[in-house]
């Protein structure tokens, strides 16, 4: 079972115990009958453990990251785009990208709570733990599942195994991301980025990622063997991307990262073979407090369309070689209900021709799957 991230790009994997006992909404058909003092004791025990241990970030040790990177580099990404233009989901490499972006758990989406706020709230965190222990959230878990520790003869706690540790961290991250009223920022799948690079470039071509985000597209560029130019004004995000570059960059390719907004960065004229990104949705995701952030510079969708989106597309047009293409992954949201149409019309006004629309599949289930458009524009 996989849970959908609202804005775009990814599904969040969650391991489910006894999946045949789970309803279509993710609740147990028969909830666990645990109540009274024992349940409260278990909740307090788990809460105390995670309060002392800290937020369940993704692992950051070198060996874990290298293992994830090696797996990504062996992934078949070339067949992910179907003949009908559907970009099929493959989550390989996504957890690797997230491991460089711990600040992402504290970034606000609209008026929703952040995962970090849930972790820091004893009331909300305990409510979530209660749901895990009683099977009323997305599975049934025991105290041992959530606290993978044992005590030695001296009463000291030791972790039972690295596998149990990772599984418990994954469960708690899923809880914090999926808690009622909470929204976590999204990340573009590295494999989907690589598939698009493969479709529109050849090895050693130059691509520009106008809004770098949380590392999915730079990892996709490394996988697809292309040169990468990226722009993003958010300081903590830029720092994480620089670390990804330092850890995994190919020695025979360049990865030029600029801590700038795409509306002010102008690439060399006709130097780009492909431009692709998923731009910010105005003020839906507030990535940092840097004054260069586009949501701080504009007060309305219309101002943002003209001051950020159009300026960015103009810079892409200037930098693209003739007959090359730009891809934009956008989707309508409540606060910007015409985002898709606005994007197409602005690109046309700059001089692009809308030649195709791919469908980014957001969940692994074919039946009832949701999609977002990836608009393809050609510079003629």
- Domain extents for the chain? 2-56+113-178, 62-93+186-379
DSSP structure string for 231-300: E---HHHHHHHHHHHHHH--TTS-EEEESS-TTT--PPTT-EEEEEE----TTSEE----TT-HHHH-SS
12-21: per-residue pLDDT in tens? 444 434 444 4
Among 17-26, 48-57, 193-202, 368-377, the least confident range: 17-26
For the structural domain made of 62-93+186-379, what CATH number should be given? 3.40.50.150
pLDDT at position 300, please?
Answer: 73
Mean pLDDT of the chain: 87
Question: Which is nearest to 59 in space by CA: 158, 168, 160, 136?
Answer: 168
Mean pLDDT of 241-260: 97
pLDDT confidence tier of residue 239, bands split at 50, 70 and 90: very high
pTM, rounded to two decimals = 0.85
Question: Which is nearest to 9 in space by CA: 85, 108, 90?
Answer: 90
pLDDT confidence tier of residue 138, bands split at 50, 70 and 90: confident
Mean pLDDT of 349-361: 98
Report whether pLDDT(301) > 90.
no
* More confident site: 48 or 303: 48
pLDDT at position 156, please?
Answer: 67
* More confident site: 162 or 238: 238
pLDDT at position 342, please?
Answer: 95
CA-to-CA dists, residue 174 to 15, 16, 177, 209, 313, angstroms: 10, 11, 5, 29, 36
């Amino acid at each position: 079972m996989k849970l959908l991230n609202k804005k775009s790009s990814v599904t969040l994997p969650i391991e489910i115990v006894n999946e045949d006992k789970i309803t279509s909404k993710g609740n147990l058909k028969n909830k666990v009958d645990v109540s009274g003092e024992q349940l409260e004791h278990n909740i307090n025990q788990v809460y105390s453990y995670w309060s002392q241990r800290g937020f369940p970030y993704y692992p950051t040790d070198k060996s874990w990251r290298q293992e994830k990177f090696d797996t990504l580099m062996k992934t078949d990404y070339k067949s992910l785009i179907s003949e009908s233009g559907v970009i099929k989901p493959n989550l390989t490499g996504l957890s690797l990208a997230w491991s460089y972006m711990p600040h992402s758990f504290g970034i606000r989406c609209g008026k929703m709570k952040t995962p970090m706020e849930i972790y820091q709230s004893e009331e909300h965190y305990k409510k979530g733990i209660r749901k895990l222990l009683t099977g009323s959230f997305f599975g049934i878990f025991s105290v041992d599942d959530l606290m993978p520790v044992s005590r030695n003869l001296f009463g000291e706690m030791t972790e039972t195994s690295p596998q149990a540790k990772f599984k418990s961290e994954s469960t708690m991250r899923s809880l914090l991301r999926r808690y009622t009223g909470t929204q976590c920022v999204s990340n573009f799948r590295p494999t989907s980025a690589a598939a698009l690079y493969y479709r529109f470039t050849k090895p050693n071509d130059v691509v520009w990622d106008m809004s770098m985000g949380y590392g999915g597209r730079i990892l996709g560029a490394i996988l697809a063997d292309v040169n990468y130019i990226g722009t993003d004004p958010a300081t903590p995000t830029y720092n994480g991307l620089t670390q990804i570059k330092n850890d995994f960059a190919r020695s025979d390719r360049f990865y030029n990262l600029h801590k700038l907004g795409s509306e002010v960065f102008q690439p060399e004229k006709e130097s780009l073979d492909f431009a692709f990104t998923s731009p910010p949705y105005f003020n839906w995701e507030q990535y940092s407090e840097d004054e260069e952030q586009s949501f701080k510079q504009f007060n309305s969708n219309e101002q943002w369309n003209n001051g950020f989106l159009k300026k960015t597309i103009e810079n892409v047009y200037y930098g693209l070689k003739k007959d090359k293409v730009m891809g934009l992954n956008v989707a309508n949201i409540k606060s910007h209900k015409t985002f898709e149409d606005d994007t197409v019309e602005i690109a046309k006004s700059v001089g692009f021709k809308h030649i195709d629309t791919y469908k980014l599949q957001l969940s692994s289930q074919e039946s009832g799957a949701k999609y977002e458009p990836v608009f393809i524009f050609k510079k003629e």
